[in-house]
């Protein structure tokens, strides 16, 4: 009996020693600092944004189709009925939710890069505006963060101005994803949708259009700034028809967020990309960014590079219901000159060299 008691005492002593050693090791190990926690939250905020834009629409569509063949088919039927009833809402200003713009997650999203908004001139609430957003980049991070979220202070810098951002009309045909887009203030990049905001929604509306579109993303690469703008004049015609002032903006650093495999003009891969873009509305880019584990790993997340969006002085535009081609060309040229001036005056302030040029094709 004494032998058994001695053995138990020895085991208990050993267990206590093991527990004490483990606790000592745990307490001695490095605990996550506040900076580490903020870095993880920033990474998660960007992850949820990328996954939402890349997968939310497709996953929702597949899920609703699957539910049709289950006992939950009424969910799909009811949502289909809702989409039919709500079909024209994206073309009529959408259904924005101010609370979504104020989500705390967008502050972490902003700080991940970080993204900064710079104002050079006031915008009067008594006018409407078309903001030209350049460049497109891969995912338009600067345009989204500044014009859809309130994290960079757009509302405080431009009081009385309601910003909207346009995107492909096809995105508003995807279930659930359309609700997500509209709640943030996105609308289709169509004449009807933009015309509604500029003529039937009062004044103080600023519609941001990424003018280069999907075609411009094919030329997105660090160190090269190429804009597709020379033949893009529809936004100028719309500005004239509605008397909306034209506002150039440029996001310095947008092209540094991803690494893209750029296929030169004339190659068969470039031809496939361009044909796909004409048929589907977006370009299939071959790109990569950082991974989840570290900046050195490869993945689909953008690199944490600073983005500075400069919103410049408006080009005042008269209201002409049927502007001539000469009138459109004149104001298009004025817009291009203002954009070049913005770029050249700010490029050295925000990461570019004095020799860097803006190529407009």
Query: What does the pLDDT look like over 121-134, one tens digit per residue?
Result: 999 999 999 999 99
Q: Is residue 19 scored above 80 in pLDDT?
A: no
3-class secondary-structure state, position 115: strand
pLDDT grade for 357, boundaries at 50, 70 and 90: confident
CA–CA separation, 40 vs 222, rounded Å? 26
Would you state the pLDDT for residue 280?
A: 60
Mean per-residue pLDDT for 46-65?
94
Mean pLDDT in residue range 289-294: 90
- Considering the domain boundaries, does residue 63 fall inside one? yes
CA distances from 302 to 77, 138, 225, 252, 298 (A): 38, 9, 18, 15, 10
Residues with Cβ within 8 Å of 36's Cβ and at least 6 positions away in sequence, in order, are none
- Least reliable range by pLDDT among 6-20, 263-277, 279-293: 6-20
CA 210 – CA 323 distance, rounded (Å): 23
* Mean pLDDT, range 59-75, rounded to an integer: 96
Is 137 or 340 the better-scoring residue by pLDDT?
340
Q: Is the pLDDT of residue 21 over 80?
A: no
Does 1 fall in a domain?
no
Q: What is the structure's pLDDT at 33?
A: 82
Using pLDDT thresholds of 50, 70 and 90, give the confidence band for residue 263: low
Residue 79 has a pLDDT of 96
Q: Is residue 337 part of a domain?
A: yes
Residue 349 lies in a domain: yes
In this structure, is residue 332 part of a structural domain?
Answer: yes
Domain that holds residue 221: 35-360
Q: How confident is the model at residue 281 (pLDDT cuts 50, 70, 90)?
A: low
**Rg of the Cα trace of the chain?**
26
> Does some domain include residue 210?
yes
329 to 215, 216, 248, 313, 340: CA distances (angstroms): 22, 21, 16, 19, 16
Report the pLDDT value the prediction gives residue 288, as an integer from 0 to 100. Answer: 84
Distances, alpha carbon 39 to alpha carbons 124, 257, 297, 303, 304, in Å: 38, 17, 16, 13, 11
User: Is there a domain that residue 4 lies in?
Assistant: no
pLDDT of 221: 65
Largest Cα span, the chain: 109
How many structural domains are present in the chain?
A: 1
What's the confidence (pLDDT) of residue 213? 85
- What pLDDT shows up at residue 275? 72
Among the residue ranges 57-66, 170-179, 269-278, the one predicted with the least confidence is: 269-278
Percentage of the chain exceeding pLDDT 70: 83
Percent of the chain with pLDDT over 90: 66
CB atoms within 10 A of CB 181: 27
| Mean pLDDT score, 309-333 | 96
Assess if residue 272 is contained within a domain.
yes
State both tokens at 109: 């999203």
Residue 214 — pLDDT band, cuts 50, 70, 90?
confident
Res. 17 pLDDT band, cuts 50 70 90: low
């Amino acid at each position: 009996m004494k032998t058994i008691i001695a053995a138990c005492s020895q085991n208990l002593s050993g267990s206590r020693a093991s527990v004490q050693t483990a606790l000592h090791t745990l307490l001695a190990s490095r605990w996550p600092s506040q900076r580490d926690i903020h870095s993880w939250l920033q990474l998660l905020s960007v992850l949820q944004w990328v996954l939402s834009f890349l997968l939310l629409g497709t996953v929702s569509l597949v899920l609703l189709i699957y539910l049709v063949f289950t006992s939950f088919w009424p969910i799909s039927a009811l949502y289909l009925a809702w989409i039919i009833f709500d079909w024209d809402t994206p073309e009529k200003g959408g259904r924005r939710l101010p609370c979504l713009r104020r989500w705390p997650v967008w502050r972490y999203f902003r700080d991940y890069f970080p993204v900064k908004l710079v104002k050079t001139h006031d915008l009067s609430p008594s006018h409407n505006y078309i903001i030209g957003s350049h460049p497109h980049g891969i995912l338009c991070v600067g345009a989204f963060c500044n014009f859809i979220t309130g994290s960079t202070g757009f509302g405080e810098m431009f009081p009385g101005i309601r910003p909207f951002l346009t995107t492909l009309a096809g995105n508003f045909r995807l279930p659930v994803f359309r609700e997500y887009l509209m709640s943030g203030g996105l609308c289709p990049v169509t004449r009807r949708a933009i015309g509604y905001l500029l003529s039937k929604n009062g004044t103080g509306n600023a519609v941001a259009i990424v003018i280069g579109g999907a075609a411009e993303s094919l030329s997105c690469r660090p160190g090269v700034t190429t804009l597709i703008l020379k033949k893009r004049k529809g936004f100028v015609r719309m500005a004239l028809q509605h008397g909306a002032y034209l506002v150039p903006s440029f996001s310095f650093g947008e092209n540094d967020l991803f690494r893209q495999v750029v296929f030169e003009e004339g190659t068969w891969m470039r031809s496939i990309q361009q044909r796909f873009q004409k048929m589907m509305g977006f370009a299939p880019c071959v790109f990569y960014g950082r991974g989840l584990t570290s900046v050195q790993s490869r993945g689909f997340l953008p690199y944490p590079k600073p983005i500075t969006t400069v919103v410049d002085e408006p080009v005042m535009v008269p209201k002409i219901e049927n502007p001539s081609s000469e009138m459109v060309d004149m104001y298009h040229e004025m817009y291009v000159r203002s954009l070049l001036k913005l770029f050249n005056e700010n490029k050295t302030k925000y990461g570019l060299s004095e020799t860097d040029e803006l190529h407009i094709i």
